[in-house]
Amino acid sequence: MKKTQLLSTLVIALSFLLATAHSALALEIIAAPNGSVSFYEDSVLGKQTDNGSGQGNGGGTAAQAPIKTVSPRSGQQINITPMDDELQVGVQQPNVRGQGFQDTDVMRVNRLDMQVPAAGNPTQQKAAEKRNEAGQMNGETVQDRSEYREMLMEQRQERQEEMIQIRNQLKENKQSLNIESRGVKANLNQGAEFSYDAETNQIILTTPSGETHVLNHLPDQAVARLIELGLDTNDSELNVLTKGDDVLYTATGSRRKKFLGLFNRNVPTEIELNDETGEAMETELPADSFIDGLLNSLSF
14, burial (CB in 10 Å: exposed 0-12, middle 13-18, buried 19+): exposed
Dihedrals φ, ψ of 189, to 5°? -65, 145
Question: With the CA atoms of 101, 102, 105 and 110 taken in that order, what torsion angle do they form, in degrees rounded to the nearest 10?
Answer: 70
pLDDT for residue 59: 44
The ranges assigned to domains in the chain are: 25-215, 228-297
pLDDT for residue 4: 57
Render pLDDT for 50-74 as a digit per residue (tens, 0 to 9).
433 333 344 445 457 899 999 988 8
pLDDT for residue 63: 58
186's CB contacts (< 8 A; 6+ apart) are 178, 179, 180, 219, 222, 237, 238, 239, 240, 249
Cα four-point dihedral sign 55, 59, 64, 68: positive
What does the alpha-carbon distance between residue 114 and residue 112 come to, in Å, rounded to a whole number?
6
Render pLDDT for 108-151 as a digit per residue (tens, 0 to 9).
999 999 999 999 988 988 888 887 776 544 444 444 567 888 88
What does the alpha-carbon distance between residue 200 and residue 134 come to, in Å, rounded to a whole number?
14
pTM recorded for the entire structure: 0.76
H or E stretch covering 174: strand 174-181
Pairing of strands 77-82, 184-188: unpaired
Strand partners for 38:
30, 69
Render pLDDT for 182-232 as a digit per residue (tens, 0 to 9).
999 999 987 678 899 999 999 999 877 778 889 999 999 999 999 998 887
Q: Are 253 and 270 in contact (CB under 8 A)?
A: yes
The confidence band for 254, taking pLDDT boundaries of 50, 70 and 90, is: low
